[in-house]
Structures are given as structure tokens and as C-alpha cells.
């Protein structure tokens, strides 16, 4: 019964729409398909989307792990509030995040005005996209790493020190290895979210073709031009690349689970 329900939901919400997408894209024919993806503007947009998402996911893997560490190991004033705030990007409408980021990072904004004289432009550049994607993807790594870190007792670190290991050796040989599967999971989630992110990005990106135009925006543009085939072709490519990335990451994850996650 519950299995049937789950499968029905999965079919209605995920499988049928995906199949329809594939079918639509297939209707374009190989030649038409090639025509869409060989458009340099499309290729550039895909590149921007995937590379910025990758950069943001890497940044989140590093800073998210650090944040989880601080939340688990330090007791400071306002820790619980800080902990609750981590989830804000999940709850906030992405457009709100986008507008907020523009007001801070535009050349006249709170932080942007200090960076502009240094020649650093964040809003309306790929850098701005990365900033937006870091913001929306931030909770993923923190929330996957945090529970695993809580499981690792401080005693293992103390033992490492009694055995003569310095802080650096303790971090790299004792603390980090068991966290790798969790960090990878968070990284994969942040990456997947980043590739498809639309709302928060379009405000800060500036949307300059070939420079800061993301693939989801291009899909919207194609739809507004009633070019449904073109839109589905881009969508199909994004889907294929995302699948590929998830497969690779899953592979690494199960390998590292065997290697590091024992017991």
C-alpha cells in the first residue's frame, strides 16, 4: 500500500514529467537538437551555470564544514540562534535573497561600495552568481556534516594529541576522514541546487549574454519566445549533465563510505 503510494507519487511528479521532457526534446530530431546546443550563447550559459554552481559548492563544502565544526565544538553566546539562522536560506523566498544580495553587493551597496574602489565587482558578474549560490546552498553542507561531527567524540582528538600528533595531523588524519562522506553528500546537494537556481541569481547576475547569463534564464527566454523545442533541448542537456554529476558523486561517496565510514 505505502509502496504503491510512493511509486504513484514518484511517477506523477518525477517520472512522467521527465519522460515528457525527453520526448519533447527527441521530437526536435538530432539535427534540430544540435542546432540548439551549438548556439554559442546556449553553450556559454550552460558553462556559466555549471561552473558557478561548482565553485559555490566547493566554497560551501569548506565553509559549511567549518561552520558545523564551530556549532558542534564551541559554546558561545547566541549559538542556538545562529544555529537556527543557518536554515534561513531554505525558508526564504529565493527572490528575496536575490534582492537582499543586490542591495549589499551592488557598487553602491553596503559591502559593494568598499569593494568597487579595489576594482572588485560582485553584482552583475559571475562572481555575483557564485555569491548568490553560496547563500542558497550554505545549509546543505552544514546540516549533513553537523550530525556526523556530533558523533565523533572530542576524546578521539585528545587521544590523537597524547599519541604525539599536532593539531594539523589530528585534523587531517583523525577528524576529517570520517566526515568525507557527509561533506560529499552536502556538496552534491549544494551543487544540484546551484545548477538549477533561478530566483536568487537573476537579480544579482546582470544577465549579460556570454558573461553572466545562466541556463535556466535562457530557458525562460526561449519559452517567452514560444520556442518550446529550444527550451526543452536546453533543459534536457541540463538534466543529462546533472544526472552524470550525481552518478559520479554517488560513486565517490560509496567508495569513501567503504574507505572512511566504517563502524
Partner 1 sequence: MDIRIDKIRKEFGDFPALHDVSLNIRSGELIALLGPSGSGKTTLLRLVAGLEYPSQGRILFGEEDASWKSVQERNVGFVFQHYALFKHMTVFDNVAFGLRVRGSKDRPPKAEIRRRVEELIDMVQLSGMESRYPGQLSGGQRQRVALARAMAIEPRVLLLDEPFGALDAKVRKDLRKWLREFHDRTGHTTLFVTHDQEEALELADRVVVMSQGKIEQVGSADDIYDRPQSAFVFSFVGDSAKLPVTVANGDVTFRGAPTGLRTSVGNGEKHIFFRPRDIALQDDGPAFEGRILSMRRLAGARIAEIDAGLGEGAERVEIELPLGVPAEQGSVIRFLPHRFAIF
Residues engaged in binding partner 1 (CB under 8 A)? 153, 155-156, 158-166, 169, 173-174, 177-178, 259-263
Q: Tell me the closest approach of the beta carbon of residue 257 to partner 1, in angstroms.
A: 10
Positive or negative CA dihedral for 191, 218, 203, 92? Answer: negative
Q: Which of 234, 197, 246 is nearest to 28 (CA)?
A: 234
Q: Tell me the closest approach of the beta carbon of residue 143 to partner 1, in angstroms.
A: 22
Q: Tell me the closest approach of the beta carbon of residue 81 to partner 1, in angstroms.
A: 23
Place of cell 558578474: 125
Nearest to partner 1 of 67, 160 (CB atom): 160
Nearest to partner 1 of 2, 166 (CB atom): 166
Nearest to partner 1 of 155, 224 (CB atom): 155
Contact 191/150 with Cβ under 8 angstroms? no
Q: Which of 64, 69, 58 is nearest to 249 (CA)?
A: 58
DSSP-derived secondary structure for 138-207 = HHHHHHHHHHHHHHS-HHHHHHHHHTT--HHHIIIIIIHHHHHHHHHHHHHHHHHHHHH--HHHHHHH--
- The torsion angles phi and psi of 210, rounded to 5 degrees, stand at 70, -10
Q: Tell me the closest approach of the beta carbon of residue 175 to partner 1, in angstroms.
A: 10
Nearest to partner 1 of 92, 252 (CB atom): 252
Nearest to partner 1 of 47, 259 (CB atom): 259
Q: Tell me the closest approach of the beta carbon of residue 115 to partner 1, in angstroms.
A: 41
Amino acid at each position: 500500500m505505502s509502496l504503491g503510494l510512493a511509486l504513484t507519487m514518484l511517477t506523477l511528479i518525477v517520472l512522467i514529467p521527465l519522460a515528457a521532457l525527453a520526448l519533447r526534446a527527441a521530437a526536435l530530431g538530432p539535427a534540430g537538437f544540435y542546432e540548439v546546443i551549438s548556439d554559442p550563447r546556449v553553450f556559454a550559459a550552460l558553462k556559466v551555470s555549471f561552473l558557478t554552481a561548482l565553485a559555490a559548492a566547493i566554497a560551501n563544502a569548506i565553509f559549511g564544514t567549518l561552520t558545523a565544526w564551530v556549532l558542534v565544538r564551541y559554546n558561545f553566546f547566541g549559538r542556538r540562534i545562529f544555529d537556527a539562522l543557518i536554515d534561513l536560506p531554505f525558508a526564504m523566498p529565493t527572490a528575496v535573497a536575490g534582492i537582499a544580495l543586490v542591495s549589499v553587493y551592488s557598487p553602491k551597496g553596503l559591502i559593494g561600495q568598499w569593494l568597487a574602489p579595489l576594482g572588485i565587482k560582485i553584482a552583475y558578474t559571475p562572481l555575483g552568481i557564485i555569491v548568490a549560490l553560496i547563500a542558497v546552498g550554505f545549509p546543505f553542507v552544514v546540516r549533513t556534516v553537523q550530525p556526523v561531527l556530533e558523533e565523533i567524540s572530542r576524546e578521539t582528538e585528545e587521544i590523537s594529541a597524547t599519541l604525539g600528533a599536532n593539531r594539523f595531523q589530528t585534523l587531517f588524519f583523525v577528524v576529517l576522514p570520517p566526515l568525507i562522506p557527509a561533506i560529499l553528500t552536502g556538496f552534491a546537494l549544494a551543487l544540484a541546487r546551484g545548477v538549477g537556481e533561478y530566483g536568487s541569481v537573476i537579480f544579482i547576475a546582470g544577465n549579460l549574454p556570454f558573461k553572466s547569463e545562466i541556463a535556466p534564464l535562457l530557458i525562460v527566454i526561449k519559452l517567452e519566445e514560444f520556442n518550446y523545442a529550444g527550451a526543452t533541448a536546453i533543459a534536457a542537456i541540463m538534466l543529462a549533465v546533472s544526472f552524470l554529476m550525481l552518478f559520479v558523486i554517488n560513486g565517490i561517496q560509496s567508495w569513501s563510505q567503504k574507505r572512511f565510514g566504517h563502524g
